[in-house]
Amino acid sequence: MTCNDFDQAADLTIWPRSTPARTARSRPYASVREALKAAAAALDEGNVQTWIVTERGDILSPRWIEANLRAVDPARGAVLP
């Protein structure tokens, strides 16, 4: 992803690790940055996996999200290219 890709709309899905998948919650966000902020908050709350789907159809996995949280919080994750 390029820096401009972080401005596209995205849906964040939060999957609880301890309950059946049918309890996943999904919500639209105006940008990937906003979805990353919400993913960070969900990860801080507990035992969940987060997935982001961008408006262009890119699927961002839990590992990608955790590795790129620094885009919204410099105290976290790895530095973006």
Residue 65: the pLDDT is 92
Instruction: List the pLDDT tens digit at each of the 81 positions of the chain.
Output: 777 888 999 999 998 887 766 667 789 999 999 999 999 999 888 888 999 999 999 999 999 998 888 766 767 654 444
> Residue 29: which of 65, 81, 2 has the closest Cα?
65
Q: pTM for the complete prediction?
A: 0.80
Residue 71: the pLDDT is 65
Domain assignments of the chain as residue spans, ordered by start: 3-71
How many C-beta atoms surround the C-beta of residue 77 within 10 A?
A: 17
Residue 78: the pLDDT is 46
